[in-house]
Amino acid sequence: MTEITPEQHLRERLSAHLEVLYPHLEKAALLEDIIALMALDQRCFMPEAHKNLWDESDTLVITYGDSILREGEWPLHTLHDFLRRELRGLISGVHILPFYPYSSDDGFSVINYVEVNPSLGDWKDINAIARDFDLMADLVINHCSSRSLWFENFKQRRDPGMDYFVEVDPETDLSEVIRPRTSPLLNEVQTLDGKRHVWCTFSHDQVDLNFQNPTVLLEFVKIIRYYLDMGVKIFRLDAVAFLWKIPGTTSLNLEQTHEVVRLVRSLIEHAIPEAIIITETNIPLRENLAYFGNANEAHLVYNFSLPPLLINTMVSGSCKALKTWMMGMPAAQDGTTYFNFIASHDGIGLRPAEGLLEDAEINQLVTLMQKSGGRVSWRALANGENRPYEINISLFDAMRRHLYSSNENDGEDGFQEQRFICAHALMLAVQGVPAFYIHSLLATENDENRVLHTSHNRSINRHQWVADDLESQLSTDSHHARIFNILKALITLRSTQAAFHPNAAQYPLHLGDKVFGIRRESHSTGAAIVAVYNISAEPQEILLSDLNLDESVSWQDILIDGADIRSQHSILLAPYDYRWLRRGDAVGVQN
């Protein structure tokens, strides 16, 4: 029997993808164009199914290219200097949020996909960072800027661009369309052929691309190849759930959208087997998990339900919803895992909490965040009502108040730092790859001045540090330095524990609503860790008998002194305290 070659394997997969996407088109030439544009006719690898491209040593930082500024220096150079000095050997990868020329939305309205924003630096700066860290970059695939060459050509009725956008008759019934904005879906545009109405899911400056035109697909194949050549290892498919539009449907998570993700996966893993796809799909849990496919779509999906549930846990003093959700979470099969985070450049998405938190709980959380300086972004429902879509607040200020503190202190109880650190210690222990937004790693506060300057709610958590000020804060006994050093120590410790492999088994424990517990166990080494967290403002005692620890082996408290705890009857946790207990006989675990 003749063994199939990598290129034959690729051709079979591409043929299947194209048949779903373009059933009525002649596909032979299109297939050849895709292979040539990806240079897969020159070099093509056979991907290994269900291979984990990560382990417990992987942690990412999420940042804008200009989150740290130094006068007279390109921001990407300043960022690279900070990463090398403070985080080399600690984090494995860095997600630089869109670093291309843009017209709005802090980068997500791309003018040119293959240029670096000249205010940040150039491709040499991106290449330098990619040599030191796994580089994650955005493939802003759903839409582009209204100031892009493509859209200018659309208005001038010439190529490339004339047929690149979704045009709809304004009389068309689009009431079923789901989107996270309250602005009109269609934007009227004057062209050389008269008025046209183009589809804009997010804003009128972000015009949705028409993937029903295969030429648009070819444009993105070229972009993907270019990013790979520039050192990108991890592709974040931004807003991909909205990609394919069919009037009369929700135009969300359509089968063709999933097929495009599968096609992109086929291309990158045949080009560079270590490359990774992560889908940014801020939607309810079941729909989000669908982007794993059968381990043939995203390698990682954003764990969007984790931020609102974990923040609600910390400020409410009850882990009931978090525990219930985690008990129902499917284990990620090998070759896939979760991308865990608590805060991002956007905000705390609330759609992924729907069905997991009661409406009253969500409203209570929104009100508390507003008391701590947070803003609320809204989405329009089909019935004309608006519903909270996202809370915009820095994570540090989100932990300022507790829901059930006395009215005398308006919810501020002095445990802000403890809540903040406990939340991250919990995130580090759950199944998946952890990621820290740079302003969470640095415990940055709300930036009210930036909101006033931009008039955008999301700017509240997009502070720009002056490098000298940041270095000064990190060299003193500021809350920034205290938290940064504790988080770095936790990341370092986690990276040595096989039980924290992103695909290690995960078992939530039943310790009441005020103590969250989880057991992680490595399939390959047998290493086990029991992690427990007091998520309340009162001390909590945990009986060792309730942890179901194997009594025949030692259990070491690796966060305190590494001593065996078997002689103890119980563990006393101060407010927002936590412990990582490691089974002493685990194979391959460092002692």
Residue 437 sits in a domain whose CATH number is 3.20.20.80
Q: Is residue 249 part of a domain?
A: no
Q: Determine the pLDDT at residue 590.
A: 39
Q: Is residue 440 part of a domain?
A: yes
| Mean pLDDT confidence for 88-114 | 97
**Token code pair at residue 436:** 């820290």
| Mean pLDDT confidence for 583-589 | 57
Within this chain, do residues 450 and 531 fall inside the same structural domain, yes or no? Answer: no
CA angle at 56 for the pair 55 and 59, rounded to the nearest 5°: 95
Mean pLDDT rounded to a whole number for the chain: 95
| Mean pLDDT confidence for 59-88 | 98
- Give the model confidence (pLDDT) of 317-328 as tens digits: 999 999 999 999
Q: Is residue 572 part of a domain?
A: yes
Within this chain, do residues 326 and 447 fall inside the same structural domain, yes or no? Answer: yes
Gyration radius (Cα) of the chain, Å: 24
| Mean pLDDT confidence for 250-273 | 98
| Mean pLDDT confidence for 259-280 | 98
DSSP string, 44-109: ---PPTT-----TT--EEEE-TTSEE-TTS-HHHHHHHHIIIIIBTTBSEEEE---S-BSSGGGTS
Within this chain, do residues 514 and 439 fall inside the same structural domain, yes or no? Answer: no
| Mean pLDDT confidence for 436-452 | 97
Q: Is residue 137 part of a domain?
A: no
Within this chain, do residues 309 and 407 fall inside the same structural domain, yes or no? Answer: yes
Binned at pLDDT 50, 70 and 90, residue 303 comes out as very high
Within this chain, do residues 424 and 335 fall inside the same structural domain, yes or no? Answer: yes
- Give the model confidence (pLDDT) of 460-485 as tens digits: 999 999 999 999 999 999 999 999 99
Within this chain, do residues 307 and 449 fall inside the same structural domain, yes or no? Answer: yes
Within this chain, do residues 445 and 323 fall inside the same structural domain, yes or no? Answer: yes
CATH number, position 561: 2.60.40.1180
Within this chain, do residues 323 and 442 fall inside the same structural domain, yes or no? Answer: yes
Mean pLDDT lowest for which of 64-78, 272-286, 302-316, 369-383?
Answer: 369-383
| Mean pLDDT confidence for 200-226 | 98
End-to-end CA distance of the chain: 50
Binned at pLDDT 50, 70 and 90, residue 407 comes out as low
Q: Can you give the residue range of the structural domain that contains 410?
A: 303-455
Q: How many structural domains compose the chain?
A: 2
- Per the annotation, the verdict on 238 as an active-site residue is yes
Q: Of 366, 326, 328, 372, which is closest to residue 349 (Cα–Cα)?
A: 366
Q: Choose between 382 and 266: higher pLDDT.
A: 266
Within this chain, do residues 317 and 448 fall inside the same structural domain, yes or no? Answer: yes
Instruction: Indicate the residue among 455, 487, 515 that finishes a domain.
Output: 455
Cα torsion 465, 468, 472, 474: sign:
positive
Q: Is residue 6 part of a domain?
A: no
Instruction: Indicate the residue among 420, 455, 490 that finishes a domain.
Output: 455
Binned at pLDDT 50, 70 and 90, residue 566 comes out as confident
Cα torsion 33, 34, 37, 38: sign:
negative
| Mean pLDDT confidence for 385-411 | 86
Q: Is residue 26 part of a domain?
A: no
Instruction: Indicate the residue among 455, 489, 523 that finishes a domain.
Output: 455
Within this chain, do residues 316 and 413 fall inside the same structural domain, yes or no? Answer: yes
Contact 59, 491 (CB under 8 A): yes
Within this chain, do residues 530 and 437 fall inside the same structural domain, yes or no? Answer: no
Q: Determine the pLDDT at residue 587.
A: 37
Within this chain, do residues 407 and 511 fall inside the same structural domain, yes or no? Answer: no
Catalytic-role residue among 58, 66, 134, 238? 238
Q: Is residue 394 part of a domain?
A: yes
Residue 543 pLDDT exceeds 90: yes
- Give the model confidence (pLDDT) of 30-41 as tens digits: 999 999 999 999
What region, left, alpha or beta, does residue 519 occupy, with left being phi > 0 and alpha being psi -120 to 50 degrees? beta
Q: Is residue 93 part of a domain?
A: no
pTM: 0.95
